Amino acid sequence: MFITLRKLKHRGADRIGIYFPYDAALISQMKELNAIFSRTHRCWYLDYNRQRYDLLLKTFPDAVVAIENIDEILSRDQVAGQSDRENPPIIAKSDALQSGAVVHNPEHKVETDLFVSQMKLRRLPNIGKYWVFKMHYVQTISKQLLAVKGVFWNANYKVYMALRHPEVKSKVETILGVVSFFGDDYLYKEVRFTKLFIRVLPHFDDVKWMRVYVPPQVVLIEKIKRFSMARYSKLHDCYLLPAAPAVYEAVEMQFEPHGVKTVSELPANYLDKRNLPNRKQLDLSKTKALLFEQVPEHAHVYVTDFVNHILALNYSEATLRNYGSAFIRFLRDHHYADPSQIGPKQVVAHLASLMERGLSASAGHTMVNALTFYYQQVLGQTEVSFKLPRPKREKKLPAVLTLEECLRIFQVVDNPKHKLLLLLGYGAGLRVGELVVLEWRDILFEEHKIHIKNAKGKKDRMVMLPQSIVSFLAYYKTIYKPNRYVFEGQFAGEPYSTTSVQSIMRKAVQKSGLSKKASVHTLRHSFATHLLEQGTDVRYIQKLLGHSSIQTTMTYTHLTKQAINKIVSPLDMLANHQLLRKNGDNFEKE
């Protein structure tokens, strides 16, 4: 049992925050002490005074392993809710989260002045290659800071992050008007903690996973999130990792530089290398867990049958997510009643009510497919004539960019990696999901082709590799040195995020000044349309895009300039005829 005490500001007063992994006995004791649970800070808390502090130490003499930002008690007691000037501290404890001192560097002192005291300027623990600091917002100072290359604002944590570089240090300290604020830990020194532990416990509901409890420190939380297979469990208030020896060793190795020890409470032979999942298994497991979190426990049996049949038929993660979400919505609307007791007429009535409430035709089709799958595949009612009315799908033409508009977008992107992402997406007509998982071994330079594997519908296909970016690809590889994936994500060995690619495209469209709404998929539409305008056979375009039906590809024939330009409006014909007749009359008069 491990407890961390931390001073925090909550509801206009200082409090003693009490952090610990989920424990029913501890929660019961907290209630006996009249402690209150804060959803904002995800902890229990008591008023910040000496009596409460002594009571905690007396109640849990051996459990308190970390005391953070709780200062030395003065001669008089403190009353919660007083101003900061009147608030005496409790016990001396340096902490970089609330002070300007550098962790485990007692000889380092930060020079403070009027600005520092007024703006509450303070250092936080380093995150990776960045110094982290916080202060009250001042527009002029903030603009100067963000103008420095290597400094940015982290909206998630409401902090400034500065690259640990001597030049960045000099510029930022000059703007802030302080000396030796960051120290000299340039990219090679790690923040160290004392008396902090990471607990690793078994997961009795699923022995393929282990529960990892990480102390509530930003730098440690960020590190556990970097594990590609980590997922957070709300039920246990911890992170779950595959119970494999390699993963456990990685946890020890990653946190050892911070002085944080890993305490294993796993049974003998609990770790098994076969528990290490591949990418497909990881995606399916994550989606499956998210689906079960949306329904109460008594309805799990219905979702279990539904999910098991989808997995047994080897459907994709996207199908599991879409069909599962639609089925859960159906259950929710029927108060999680047994779906086998809901007849076809009730299902039709439910679908009609959804359409009446403004459900899109696309979502309606997904609902129909999910319910049809459940009644036919799960319940086995194939002999029953169970026909659902199909909502009429809206026929919308996809947005398309002209060649000039595409060029404008590419020209405003300066980052080589970002530019190559968009160029390759347009030049080969790739979906964003295909773009981010592209591997170097899939690019056939000698054949000038790209092998797209396991795309939509679990189909492979060959697409063109534009000659114009072959040299660009080689140059990019020398700069970024990626290993497996062409576009690696934030962490080595992981593919780039589709959300990040969409964000790059969105910013490029804004910067180019285009009024059109365009996404990465718009580049794919533009690719197909421009090929048609060049006279490429629509059947070849179908193969390049990976369409199952030629009808899908035929949509682009309505968008080509040449096809539209060849058609003359009857109004123009009438106007031209009238103009010719008028000119003829004038000629006769002359």
In this prediction, residue 181 carries a pLDDT of 86
Structure-token match 């060849």, residue found: 566
Helices (H) then strands (E): counts for the chain: 22, 17
pLDDT, averaged across the chain: 78
For residue range 160-173, list pLDDT tens digits in order.
989 888 899 999 99
Q: What percent of the chain has pLDDT over 90?
A: 8
Domains in the chain: how many in total? 4
How far, CA to CA in Å, does 93 sit from each of 68, 98, 194, 226, 247?
6, 11, 12, 29, 34
The CATH number of whichever domain residue 441 belongs to comes to 1.10.443.10
Q: What is the pLDDT of residues 282-338, one digit of tens each?
A: 778 778 888 888 888 888 999 999 999 988 888 888 888 999 999 999 998 888 889
Q: Has residue 438 got a pLDDT over 80?
A: yes
Q: Name the percent of the chain in helix, strand, coil, to the closest 5.
A: 45, 15, 40
- Per-residue model confidence (pLDDT) at position 206: 84
Whether residue 439 sits in one domain with residue 307: no
Final residue in a domain of this structure, among 68, 93, 117: 68
Residue 498, in any domain of the structure: yes
Buried b or exposed e, range 436-464, using 16+ CB within 10 angstroms: bbbeeebbeeeeeebbbeebeeeeebebe
| Residue 201 confidence (pLDDT) | 94
Pair 310, 425 in one domain:
no
Counting every residue, how long is the chain? 590
Q: pLDDT tens across 458-495, in order?
A: 788 888 888 888 888 888 888 777 777 888 876 556 67
Listed ranges 82-86, 267-271, 371-375; the one with the highest mean pLDDT? 267-271
- Active-site residue flag, 203: no
Q: Is 38 helix (H, G, I), strand (E, B) or coil?
A: strand
Q: Is residue 50 part of a domain?
A: yes
Residues 6+ apart with CB under 8 A from 7: 14, 15, 16, 17, 48, 68, 69, 70, 71, 90, 98
Is the pLDDT at 111 greater than 60, yes or no? no
Band (232; pLDDT cuts 50, 70, 90): confident
Check whether residue 546 and residue 451 sit in a common domain: yes
Give the burial string for 259-269 (b: 16+ CB within 10 Å, else e).
ebebebeeeee
CB-based contacts of 223, cutoff 8 Å, min separation 6: 254, 255
Q: How far is CA 210 from CA 48, 201, 203, 280, 396, in A?
A: 36, 6, 5, 20, 48
Sign of CA dihedral 206, 212, 216, 217: negative
Q: Is 431 a catalytic residue?
A: yes
335 labelled catalytic = no
Give yes or no: residues 440 and 557 share one domain.
yes
Q: What is the pLDDT of residue 213?
A: 95
* Bridging pattern class, strands 197-202 and 261-264: parallel
Q: Quick check: 542 and 550 in contact, CB under 8 A?
A: yes
Query: 521 and 429: one domain?
Result: yes
- Asked whether residue 429 is domain-assigned, the answer is yes
**Do 273 and 287 belong together in one domain?**
no
Note whether residue 98 is domain-resident: no
Whether 207 is covered by a domain: the verdict is yes
Neighbour tally for 17: CB within 10 Å: 24
Instruction: Look at residue 386 and tell me if it is in a domain.
Output: no
Please report the pLDDT score of residue 199 as a whole number. 94
Side-by-side strand order, sheet with 13-19: 36-38, 43-47, 13-19, 3-10, 64-68
* Residue 547 annotated to the active site: yes
Q: Per-residue pLDDT for 113 more than 50?
A: no
Residue 365 annotated to the active site: no
pLDDT tens track for 487-543: 887 655 667 888 888 999 999 999 988 888 888 888 888 888 888 888 888 888 888
pLDDT, residue 580, reads: 57
Domain containing residue 326: CATH number: 1.10.150.130
Is residue 67 pLDDT above 90, yes or no?
no
Spot the catalytic one: 431, 449, 461, 511.
431
Domain with residue 228: its CATH number is 3.40.1170.30
Determine the pLDDT at residue 210: 93
Q: Could you say which DSSP state residue 237 is in?
A: T
Of these residues, 134, 195, 511, 521, which one is catalytic?
521
Domain that holds residue 29: 3-68
Q: Give residue 262's pLDDT.
A: 92
On the question of pLDDT at 110 being above 70, the answer is no
437 and 288 in a single domain? The answer is no
Is 418 annotated in the active site?
no
Identify the active-site residue in 195, 365, 456, 511. Answer: 456
Give the end of a domain, one of 361, 378, 395: 378
- Kindly state whether residues 438 and 520 are assigned to the same domain: yes
Q: Residue 584 corresponds to which tokens in the numbers above?
A: 């003829």
Rounded mean pLDDT, 369-385: 80
* CA proximity to 484, closest of 444, 441, 428, 431: 441
- Order across the sheet with 231-233: list the strands: 231-233, 238-242, 209-213, 197-202, 261-264
Question: Which is it for strands 3-10 and 13-19: parallel, antiparallel or unpaired?
Answer: antiparallel
Q: Does residue 343 share a domain with residue 236?
A: no
Per mean pLDDT, which of 211-220, 223-232, 548-557, 568-577 is the most reliable? 211-220
- Active-site position among 7, 15, 169, 547: 547
Active-site residue among 164, 524, 525, 530? 524
Q: What are phi and psi of 571, to 5 degrees?
A: -65, -40
Last residue of a domain, one of 277, 298, 325: 277
Q: Is residue 292 part of a domain?
A: yes
pLDDT score, position 105: 40
Are residues 552 and 426 part of one domain?
yes
On the CB side of 456, how many CA atoms lie within 13 Å of its CA? Answer: 12
With respect to residue 94, please indicate whether it lies within any of the assigned structural domains.
no
Same domain? For 435 and 554 the reply is: yes
293 and 434: one domain?
A: no
